[in-house]
Structure 1
Amino acid sequence: MHTTTVIPTYTASRKRQQHLQAFYHDVVKGLTAPNKYLDAKYFYDAAGDVLFQQIMQCPEYYLTGCEMEIFTRQAAQIAHTLQQRAGNFDVVELGAGDATKSIHLLRQLLSNGVDYTYFPIDISANVINQLQINLPAALPQLRIQGLNGEYFQMLQQAAEHTSRKKVLLFMGSNIGNFTTEAARGFCQQLHQYMQPGDLLMIGFDLKKHPQVILDAYNDAAGITRAFNLNLLHRINHELNADFDVQQFMHYPTYDPGTGTCSSYLISLTTQQVHIGEDVCIDFAANEALHMEISQKYTLEEITALARQTGFTPVTHFADHKKWFVDVLWERS
């Protein structure tokens, strides 16, 4: 049994217009900043979703395999721990994607007889639509309520749907898309949207050999390059811009001292980019456009982050190489 929400056409149209306005505002803000940047959350349109699925299959992109190992081999242990700590609860997943990892936990919870509703949250409407079709087909007993939008707005909606204790999932090293300072702010915000006793499971990529990390963001097949350039295509299509994507080069970096991996697009020439009729952006030759960050951590840094943001570390689950961990925190 499952539930879905049908959005009236006028509501969907208004939501689409609001999204485009926010997209336009964020793009112009980033491109007119002293150090140009684009917000990584906009990578995920329909084409971006497909490209990211391909990235996760790249041999260099170890993160998916490591976390998949955790959820396939340790689902029973994770489910048991959640049931012991939380009792009756609902599951809320931030940035659910295609749920290929979380499905193992969802299946285990159903097998254990846990009565829960799954609330996947994603900024991509395409992702939510696919989940609401595919997951009930794979797990007929699953109750699902997809929520399309920004994390915190959708967390508020989830709270309006249910007052039960919640287990929040934030996997795939999505926390790494924040600087360490921003990660603290994000976790503090999560804390505000949670109740005492709620649980939070977050996936963290651990520091390891620098070349292993750098290769993960510079795959030989060039899919990560296409993923970054796709955002320029999206801006062209949705915001009536004229990026010449052939004039930008994908350039990733990794600093093993700070644990910060960054991806840039480098302008190959002096050029101008127009967005709609009113905005003109100048690029100098070799100017960098920051696209995304992927922060790496030690276990000690993760524990410190929990305590700094109002959470109590409960336990963690690691892959056999100890390259990746999914940590479980309790909201104090």
Structure 2
Amino acid sequence: MILTTETNTEVNNQFLNETITGLSAKPKYMHSKYFYDEAGDYIFQQIMNMEEYYLTDAEMEIMQYQADQIANVISDGSDAFDLIELGAGDATKSIHLLRKLINKKLNFQYFPIDISAHVISDLSVKLPQALPELQFTGLNGDYFDMLKAANETSDRQKVVLFMGANIGNMNVDEAEAFCVKVKALLSPDDLLIIGFDLKKNPKQILDAYNDKSGITRSFNLNLLNRINRELEGNFNLDHFEHYATYDPETGECKSYLISLENQVVNIGEHAIQFQKNEYVYMEISQKYAIAEIERLAHRSGFKVQQYFFDSRQYFVDAIWKVA
């Protein structure tokens, strides 16, 4: 089953309005959530398979070898619960946890949430084939709208998954505001399982976002293609280049598109001026130290229950409980 609260027209209007607002700002910015159309989903799958992109293998190792322990923490003292995944993607990591929960014969329902209708549609086909016993409802739309919809289905304990270092797509202040908002939709003793990319060698981090094959570049530029397709834009992709930077002090890894010349881009009825060398802020990938994770949990109204690390200590999945 797939649920959505938004029509295609509403989604397109929001995409247009937020794009024009961002490109009219000083400095210019775009919303990284719009990277994920069908083409963007495909390119991101390529990114996750890159040699330089260590994040996928690190969290996959946690799920492959520690999902049983994570399932034990989830099921401790809980007879029935709803498992809600924010930004489910293709579920290749979470499926290990789903399988362990099913094997333990736990009473739960899975609600994968994703802004990409393509992702939810794919899951509705693949999950019943891979896990016939799984009870699930796919939710297509905004995280918080869909989290509210999932909340309305039952009063059972909620276990929210937010994996893949998706929390890193926000700066520290935004991450705190996000976690506070999630906590407001949860009840005492509900759980949040959240993945963090840990601070490490700066070159290793930067290489993951500035790969030699140019896949990350094409991922960023695909958003311009999407605007051209869906919003009647006329971006010339050859007039922009990808630029990434990492600050080891703050843990901020940022991606930009740089305008290579003075130009005017039309998006429907809107004309956007770009100066030569002007940048457009595309996304952030925030990296954390353990002390910073502890602080974020505390300030958001959660208490850290347990950490699960990969063998190289590149990544951690933290289990937080509503305080």
Normalised by the size of structure 1, how large is the TM-score? 0.96
1:170 equivalent among 139, 162, 176: 162
Q: What is the aligned counterpart of 1:179 among 171, 175, 183?
A: 171
Q: For residue 211 of structure 1, what is the aligned residue in structure 2?
A: 203
Please list the CA deviations of residues 270-293 of structure 1 after superposition, one character each: whole Å capped at 9, or x if unmatched. Answer: 11101102x111111111011000
Does residue 53 of structure 1 match 2:39? no
Residue 196 of structure 1 corresponds to which residue in structure 2?
188
Candidates 114, 125, 140, aligned match of 1:148 = 140
**1:311 is matched by which residue type in structure 2?**
F
Counterpart of 2:284, as a letter, is: I
Alignment check: 8 A CA contact 1:272 1:281 kept: yes
Give 1:86 deviation, angstroms: 3.7
Matched, 1:306 2:294: no
State the SS of the aligned residue for 1:144.
coil
Q: Give me the whole-angstrom Cα distance separating, in 2, the residues matched to 1:232 and 1:141.
A: 41
Name 2:286's counterpart in structure 1. Answer: 295
Q: Distance in 1 between matches of 2:155 and 2:33?
A: 28
Q: After superposition, what is the alpha-carbon deviation per residue over 1:183-214, rounded to whole angstroms, capped at 9, x for unaligned?
A: 00000000101111100000000000000000
Cα contact 2:54–2:208 (8 A) shared by 1: yes
**Partners in 2 of 1:327 and 1:315 — Cα distance?**
6
Does structure 1 residue 271 correspond to structure 2 residue 249?
Answer: no
Aligned partners of 1:34, 1:290: CA distance in 2, in Å? Answer: 10
- Comparing 87-96 with 149-158, greater Cα deviation is found at 87-96
d(CA) in 1 for partners of 2:77 and 2:266? 53
Percent of residue pairs bearing the same amino acid type: 53
Counterpart contact for 2:113–2:120, Cα < 8 Å = yes
Runs of 4+ deviating beyond 4 Å: none
Report Cα offsets for 1:167-187 as digits up to 9, x if no partner: 100000000000100000000
1:76 is matched with 68
Map 1:1-332 to 2 at 5 A.
Answer: 4-5=1-2, 15-84=7-76, 86-277=78-269, 279-332=270-323
Q: CA contact under 8 A between 1:52 and 1:227: conserved in structure 2?
A: yes
TM-score, length of structure 2 as denominator length: 0.98
Offset at 1:87?
3.8
Q: Name the aligned partner's letter for residue 68 of structure 1.
A: M
Note the alpha carbon deviations across 1:24-72, whole angstroms, 9 max, x for none: 0000000000100000000000000000011000010000000000000
Q: 1:36 and 1:5, CA in 2 relative to 1: closer, same or farther beyond 3 A? A: closer
Aligned length: 323
1:73 maps to a residue whose letter is Y
CA gap of 1:139–1:286, structure 2 versus 1, over 3 A, is: same
The DSSP-based 3-state class of the residue aligned with 2:29 is coil
Contact 2:228 2:235 in 1 (8 A): yes
The RMSD of aligned alpha carbons is: 1.1
Q: Which runs of 5+ in 1 are unaligned?
A: none
Displacement, 1:85? 5.0
Q: Which runs of 5+ in 2 are unaligned?
A: none
The CA distance in 2 between the partners of 1:152 and 1:143, in whole Å, is 21
Provide the C-alpha distance between the structure 1 equivalents of 2:79 and 2:20, rounded to a whole number of angstroms.
46
**Residues 86 and 198 of structure 1 are in contact (CA less than 8 Å); yes or no, is this contact kept in structure 2?**
no
The amino acid of 1:199's aligned partner reads L
Q: Which AA in structure 1 matches 2:110?
A: Y
